[in-house]
Each structure stands twice: as structure tokens, then as C-alpha cells.
Chain A
Amino acid sequence: AQSVSQHNHHVILSEAASLELGCNYSYGGTVNLFWYVQYPGQHLQLLLKYFSGDPLVKGIKGFEAEFIKSKFSFNLRKPSVQWSDTAEYFCAVNAGQTGANNLFFGTGTRLTVIP
């Protein structure tokens, strides 16, 4: 069965600090990888996704993530966070080739950015 681990439960940063949120998954086959964000009081929104090709993926709002197959990782990064990045971030995976579309999510990382 697939599983996703997010190592950081709560991260607190000052504005302009750099961000890296860890995500590791457990699955032996081809995967699609996602990062979703939930801002306070809002829906889950897609930040970025990786299906194939360049392992460095750029998303919205200056976020990027790198797929490292050998490490089963898909860490999220942003060079300089803003107060408005305060949110909960979820890493998710689904099986790339089986056609099964259901997502497996990590437990989430809450990011608090201090102005």
C-alpha cells in the first residue's frame, strides 16, 4: 500500500526565511506527486504536481519541489516566505500507471510565518 510521510508537523519561520518541507512516499511503481495547500478558512488547492519529465517542478506563488526517485522524496521549497504563506501543506501521491486516481495524503505540515 502507498503511504506518505511528512516529517515536520509545525514549522515556524520569519518572513524572508527559506522554506523546505519534507515529503517521502512509499510505493514501488510509477507515481504522480502533488503538493496541496490549505489557507486558513479555504479549500485545499493544488500548489504543484509532478507526473514525469524534469524532476524540478515549479508551482504557483514561487514554490517549487524536487522529485528525487532514489530517495522516494518530493520536498517542497520556497526561497523566501511571506506572511501570506501561513497555511497547512499536504503532500500527496497516486499510482501513475494503474489508472487509480485516488490520492494518498501525508498528515500535513502547518507553516506559520511571523511578520
Chain B
Amino acid sequence: GAGVSQSPRYKVTKRGQDVALRCDPISGHVSLYWYRQALGQGPEFLTYFNYEAQQDKSGLPNDRFSAERPEGSISTLTIQRTEQRDSAMYRCASSLGTSGSQQFFGPGTRLTVL
């Protein structure tokens, strides 16, 4: 596609429910990144993939958060048993190369946990 797309754009869920956020990177981009942005803050790194391999998941806050990219293209970030503190903008980015390449960001998914 022309750019990084994310779905849904907005997600409202009740505490305790699981949510899955999807990211479709720019076609051919090797690396894919997930960030979380709380209100009034900058994006905070969660995890990233080169192709289908998860290279770094050090930013995932706890084991309720997981991500996958099984075919090296689309990625899903899953949050289990959501809590109100999970409410944030979740941003996905992709880059052409694996080192030092410019990251292109998607529009984000605004998650609200009631």
C-alpha cells in the first residue's frame, strides 16, 4: 500500500477484554515497530520485528502484551485482560531496511479501556 495502515483506528473496550490491533506495513518493508503513546507523552517503544522474527520485545510492559508477524508482513499486537492503564494511542511504523532506516508511521489506533 501507499503507507502504513492500522486498524481499527479507534477501539473502545471494557476492562478485562482482549483486544487485537493490526498493522499493515508498507509493502516490502523489512522492519516493523510498535510504539505506545500516552496523552502528553512521546511514543514509547514496545517491540520490533525484522521479517517475521521478533528482535526486541523489551518494551512490552508485561506478559499481557504480545505481538506477532507470522509471514513477515502484517503484524498484530494483542493485549489480554485489558486494564484502564492500557488506554493510549498505539502506533506502528515500518522501515525498508534493518539498520538505521527511516521509520514511516501509521495513523495509530486509539485504545480506550473503560
For chain B, the count of residues having a C-beta within 8 Å of the partner chain is 28
Q: Does B40 contact A (CB under 8 A)?
A: yes
Chain B residues, CB < 8 A from A63: none
Q: Bound complex: CA of A63 vs CA of B79, how far in Å?
A: 38
* Structural contact, B43 and A49, CB atoms closer than 8 A: no
Kindly identify, within residues 30 to 55 of chain A, every residue whose CB is under 8 Å from any CB belonging to chain B: 32, 36, 42-46, 49, 51
Q: Bound complex: CA of A42 vs CA of B108, how far in Å?
A: 10
* Structural contact, A102 and B42, CB atoms closer than 8 A: no
* Structural contact, A99 and B42, CB atoms closer than 8 A: no
Interface of B is mostly: loop
Q: Does A103 contact B (CB under 8 A)?
A: yes
Chain A residues, CB < 8 A from B59: 102
Q: Bound complex: CA of A36 vs CA of B42, how far in Å?
A: 11
16 pairs from A and B in contact (CB 8 Å cutoff): A4-B42, A45-B105, A46-B104, A49-B102, A99-B98, A99-B99, A100-B56, A101-B100, A101-B103, A102-B33, A102-B45, A102-B59, A103-B35, A105-B42, A106-B42, A107-B41
